[in-house]
């Protein structure tokens, strides 16, 4: 897989980067090792498309760059490298919700 410099998703597609297990920590600040914790489902939104078209023809994006989201555990999107970083292209429907700190 070759790396590309930039990528802009179309319509209701979202470019995400999954967070690594080593980045998962408890509220007390303790990092959870890979062997103990489950596979992380958290991701950061890197880029968003224009959004899904509504009945009146307007595009409505749900997400914005930098949002932390919860996604399905299994890889369901197309995997690409953007500036050497492993990313996935998903539909907005594949994102389960927002994460807050």
Q: Based on C-alpha coordinates, what's the Rg of the chain?
A: 15
What would the DSSP string read from start to end of 29-40?
A: SPBPPTTTSPPP
In terms of residue numbers, what domain contains 91?
3-98
Residue 40: give its domain's CATH number. 2.30.33.40
pLDDT, tens digit, for every residue of 39-74?
A: 568 899 999 988 877 777 777 777 889 999 988 777
**In the prediction, which pLDDT does 45 show?**
92
3 within 8 A of 83, measured Cβ to Cβ: yes
Quote the mean pLDDT of the chain: 79
Domain count within the chain: 1
């Amino acid at each position: 897989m070759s790396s590309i410099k930039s990528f802009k998703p179309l319509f209701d597609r979202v470019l995400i980067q999954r967070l690594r297990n080593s980045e998962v920590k408890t509220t007390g600040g303790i990092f959870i090792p890979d062997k103990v914790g489950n596979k992380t489902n958290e991701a950061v939104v890197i880029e968003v498309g224009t959004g899904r078209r509504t009945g009146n023809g307007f595009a409505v994006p749900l997400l914005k760059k930098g949002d932390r989201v919860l996604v399905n555990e299994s890889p369901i999107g197309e995997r690409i490298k953007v500036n050497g970083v492993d990313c996935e292209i998903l539909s907005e429907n594949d994102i389960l919700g927002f994460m807050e700190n």
